[in-house]
Structure 1
Amino acid sequence: MTTALVRSTTFVAARSRAHGPTAALWHAVEVHRDPSEVDGACELTLCGSLARVSVDQAWPVAERDVCVSCVVLAG
């Protein structure tokens, strides 16, 4: 008997810090555990940045200051 494994990908929004001339952006973080366990923690984003997770903000965010790379990678 074969059992199909269904895997769903969950993304949460994370806010980076402004750094020098770089503006703070919203990024996507792929999580493999309950999002409440990572609330407020810094995580590696899809584009490779570190950003603080905010489970209050759904991904994709409806903001202008969103990381284009994360949008493409989460697509």
Structure 2
Amino acid sequence: MQEHRAAQRRRILKAASISFGGGAIDCTIRNLSETGASLDVISPVGIPDRFTLIVDADRSKLPCRIVWWKEMRIGVRFEAS
């Protein structure tokens, strides 16, 4: 099967938070590339289209936009801050 993504994904398992409008939702980063990530969430309900992903390990802040979702997983593209 051919890979059609712009950047190669790396499988990881990192704790993070989806931060928006003064609130935050815990999530797990399942895979990561230079351009985006796949996140596991307890529920996608209430998560806005754009938010900041805060990676617990290094407290990095990544502006994101949701590009797809399926059940308890969402795919995001990183945006310029």
Q: In which range does the TM-score fall when normalised by the shorter chain?
A: 0.3 to 0.5
Could you say which structure has the higher helix fraction? 1
1 or 2, which has the higher strand percentage? 2
